[in-house]
């Protein structure tokens, strides 16, 4: 196992770069991060629509989100991979296909995280904003979303770990990411599939496990902050003074 790592670590880490396309673990992280970063604003828009209180906006978004969440991720990969060239006459490479498919899929998932974050903002914060005469936009972008996003950070980081795992599907459309690099190694070293895929598993585990660990630490901080806030604002039993 060590000799495989010794021999191929660079390929697993960055693919054929700089002699060929960037790949390996580096590309896995780039795909996952890019997908998360691009999904977040979309997911926020979906979540705002879901919490808008306007039925003709809430309904279609609910259907859309339910629809996307009801299908396996691989379907989206195929749709983008085969559908985009058929519909628009442009062909996408594997990495772009993965990013686009992930953005569609994750926007739906993350919108549920954002919605939960928005709905967890105490009513008093909204009423206080309203009573100052703040318009919807100010209330949303200065009061609701900053607090919701802070509280959601652990969930978002955990979601990043699950995106990292989803990127492995890119292998079947030849997106040059970590799994793809591992299969390249496997093709070169035909007799050692167990070792090679064990290394692959360890690599994913270290990356995702590390990310989840960070998320947990953050979660404790967020909880502590929220508990503090709740404590200082707790309504005590009424003191009746005569």
In the Cβ-directed half-sphere of 92, how many Cα atoms lie within 13 Å?
A: 23
DSSP of 149-172, one letter per residue? HHHHHHHHHHHHHHHHHHGGGGGG
Nearer to another protein, 192 or 226 (CB): 226
CB of 214 to another protein, least distance (A): 21
Nearer to another protein, 195 or 219 (CB): 219
Residue 235 lies near another protein (rule: CB under 8 A): yes
Nearer to another protein, 206 or 230 (CB): 230
In the Cβ-directed half-sphere of 27, how many Cα atoms lie within 13 Å?
A: 31
Nearer to another protein, 29 or 134 (CB): 134
CB of 19 to another protein, least distance (A): 48
CB of 53 to another protein, least distance (A): 14
Contact 142, 93 (CB under 8 A): no
> How many residues contact another protein, by CB under 8 A?
30
Contact letters for another protein, residues 74-113 (x by CB under 8 A):
----------------------------------------
CB of 113 to another protein, least distance (A): 18
Where residue 174 falls (left for φ over 0; alpha for ψ -120 to 50; beta otherwise) is left
Interface with another protein in residues 111-150 (CB under 8 A): 124-125, 127-135, 138, 142-143, 146-147, 150
Name residues whose C-beta falls within 8 Å of residue 31's C-beta, 6 or more positions apart in sequence. Answer: 95, 98, 99, 102, 167, 170, 175, 177
Residue 202 lies near another protein (rule: CB under 8 A): no
DSSP H helical ranges for 51-144: 55-69, 73-78, 84-88, 94-119, 123-131, 136-138
Instruction: Please state whether the peptide bond connecting residue 8 to the residue before it is cis, i.e. omega within 30 degrees of 0.
Output: no
Rule CB under 8 A: which residues touch another protein? 124-125, 127-135, 138, 142-143, 146-147, 150, 225, 228-229, 232-236, 238-242
């Amino acid at each position: 196992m060590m000799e495989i790592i010794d021999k191929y670590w660079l390929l697993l880490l960055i693919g054929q770069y700089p002699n060929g396309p960037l790949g390996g673990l580096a590309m896995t992280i780039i795909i996952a991060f890019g997908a998360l970063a691009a999904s977040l604003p979309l997911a926020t828009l979906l979540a705002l629509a879901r919490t808008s209180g306007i039925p003709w906006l809430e309904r279609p978004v609910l259907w859309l989100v339910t629809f996307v969440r009801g299908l396996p991720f691989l379907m989206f990969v195929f749709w983008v991979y085969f559908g985009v060239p058929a519909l628009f006459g442009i062909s996408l490479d594997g990495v772009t296909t993965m990013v686009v498919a992930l953005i569609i899929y994750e926007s739906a998932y993350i919108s549920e995280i954002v919605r939960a974050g928005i709905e967890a903002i105490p009513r008093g914060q909204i009423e206080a904003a309203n009573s100052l005469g703040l318009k919807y936009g100010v209330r949303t972008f200065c009061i609701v979303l900053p607090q919701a996003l802070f509280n959601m950070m652990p969930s978002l980081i955990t979601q990043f770990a699950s995106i990292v795992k989803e990127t492995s599907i890119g292998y079947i459309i030849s997106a040059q990411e970590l799994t793809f690099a591992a299969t390249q190694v496997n093709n070169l070293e035909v007799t050692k599939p167990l070792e090679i895929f064990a290394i692959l598993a360890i690599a994913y585990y270290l990356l995702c496990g590390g990310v989840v660990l960070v998320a947990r630490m953050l979660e404790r901080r967020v909880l502590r902050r929220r508990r503090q806030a709740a404590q200082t604002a707790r309504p005590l039993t009424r003191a009746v003074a005569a």
